[in-house]
Amino acid sequence: MISPLSSSYLRALLRIYFIAALLVLGLVGSQCCKCANKLKLLRGKSVIVIHMTGWLSLSEIAKGIWSLRRMPGGPLLGPMMLTAAIVAFVADITTEYLGLYGHLPFALLMIFKCSDNNGCGIGIYRKASFDALDFCADDSDILGWWVCSDVQQDMTFSALDTFDTIDSALYAQDLQYTLYPGQIAVFAKDGNHTKQFLAWSSSREGNETGAAFDVKASIEQGWSYTDDKLLKNYHCTIDSGDESQLAQLNDILGGMQANETMQQWINSLPALVYDDADSNATDTPEAALQQLLNTLTMVEGGNALVNSAVLDGDDDTYGCVTPQTFIHPFVILLATAVAAALVGMCAWWASLLLSLGADRGMLKPF
């Protein structure tokens, strides 16, 4: 069973329930034990001493079994006392936190990384909430996404090759769209050696707005100033699972000044590709490219503005991870069994009192 209550709150409620129910069960059980033995004596029957213990705790039950090799309370009350003594412990450890997918009302602003951290959809988000640590995008929240793939045309350059040399070679091999792409690298103190070279360019000519564009990127795999540079090359395109949404994305890209934007955003790429200045590129540079291009599209495509209200006709919720509590079926079974036992014990007590009638005051203080 899944409950919307927090695990700590629900565990406290269950603990209170079991403590209260088992306390009442113990009190009623003691009365039943006393009345049953009274009824036997009044009818001239013998009573075994170990059946006169009343309701015992777990330690007292264990002590009785160990000492007498018999179950205190008799064949009915004994097992019931033993079961009741361990119920609260079992119920407490089988109630746990669980995060489930759901939808919450949309609020203001965007957070780009939370959906990924929550193991949910990644892409160009239509909307995300201001309080979005629980953001878990589904298809209705995502317009589309960038897809980057290795073109399988690695290139190697000397450690002393300049930017111009590298740019010319990449452009000549059709691995960059322009001769002067957006690029960045870490320079040595001598100003001649570089490492962690990155470059990308868009298919858009000039810096005017116009049609949608795709991207070519080149990423150095190593980090040394003196070793040869191995560059892997990637091609990135926009995609969507819906044709109308893809058309929206193409319109968004068409309104962007692509090349100027690429020049500006290249500064954000190294931190996604390299852990630090002395590390190789990540095993999945294409994922870093996709993440940055998705973010770039949302920020630049919206002119760095965020709507505080949902667009007309759009869904007014967003995908999220909602805190839930998993209650094991065994706990439900235990709670039901305790309730049934309490009702049954009260009914037995009432039956014994009726059977004793006017004689129930006899044999005091027993």
Over its C-alpha atoms, the chain yields an Rg (Å, rounded) of 36
Give mean pLDDT, residues 304-310.
Answer: 51
Compute CA 10 distance to the chain's CA centroid, rounded to the nearest angstrom: 20
Task: Give the angle subtended at the CA of 339 by the CAs of 334 and 341, to the nearest 5°.
Answer: 90
Residue 306 has pLDDT above 80, yes or no: no
**Which positions ≥6 away from 24 have C-beta within 8 Å?**
342
Helices (H), 94-123: 114-117
**Residue 340 is which amino acid?**
A
Q: What is the pLDDT of residue 109?
A: 35
> For residue 42, how many C-alpha atoms fall within 13 Å in the half-sphere facing its CB?
18
Q: Which residues contact 298 (CB under 8 A, 6 or more apart)?
A: 110, 112, 124, 125
Instruction: Please report the pLDDT score of residue 190 as a whole number.
Output: 62
Residue 297 pLDDT grade (very low, low, confident, very high; cuts 50, 70, 90): confident
For residue 327, the cross-strand partners are: 95
196 closest CA partner among 305, 272, 112, 120 = 272
The span from the first CA to the last CA of the chain, in angstroms, equals: 45
Greater model confidence, 156 or 301? 156
Question: Does residue 192 have a pLDDT over 70?
Answer: no
Q: How confident is the model at residue 216 (pLDDT cuts 50, 70, 90)?
A: very high
Tokens of 349: 């007590």
Pick from 170, 148, 168: which is nearest to 215 by CA? 148
Q: Give residue 175's pLDDT band: very low, low, confident or very high (50, 70, 90).
A: very high
Q: How confident is the model at residue 97, as a pLDDT?
A: 43
- Please state, in angstroms and as integers, the Cα–Cα distance from residue 2 to each residue in 88, 95, 96, 323, following that order: 20, 10, 10, 10
Residue 60 CB contacts under 8 Å (≥ 6 apart), including other chains:
53, 72
Q: How confident is the model at residue 22 (pLDDT cuts 50, 70, 90)?
A: confident
The mean of the pLDDT values for the chain is: 76
Does 365 have pLDDT greater than 60? no
- C-alpha separations of 255 from 109, 258, 281 in Å: 21, 9, 32
**Which pLDDT does position 110 carry in this prediction?**
40
Q: Which residue has the higher pLDDT, 173 or 13?
A: 173
Higher pLDDT, 325 or 313: 325
Interatomic CA distance for residues 176 and 167, integer angstroms: 8
Global confidence as pTM? 0.57
pLDDT in tens, 232-254: 999 999 998 888 889 988 888 88
C-alpha closest to that of 234 among 294, 153, 158: 153
pLDDT at 105 over 60: no
DSSP 118-176: TT---SEES---SS-TTB---GGGEEEEEEEEE-S--EEE-TT--HHHHHHHHHHTTSS
Give just the sign of the alpha carbon dihedral 208, 209, 210, 214: positive
- pLDDT at 135 exceeding the cut of 70: no
- Altogether, the residues listed in the chain come to a count of 366
Q: Show me where the domains of the chain are located.
A: 2-94+328-361, 101-322
Q: What percent of the chain has pLDDT over 90?
A: 18
DSSP string, 20-32: HHHHHHHHHHHHH
Kindly tell me if the per-residue pLDDT of 304 is higher than 70.
Answer: no
Q: For position 360, what pLDDT does the model report?
A: 56
Token pair for residue 296?
């770039």
What is d(CA 326, CA 358) in angstroms, rounded to the nearest whole number?
51
Q: Model confidence at 366, in pLDDT bands (50, 70, 90)? A: very low
AA identity, residue 289: L
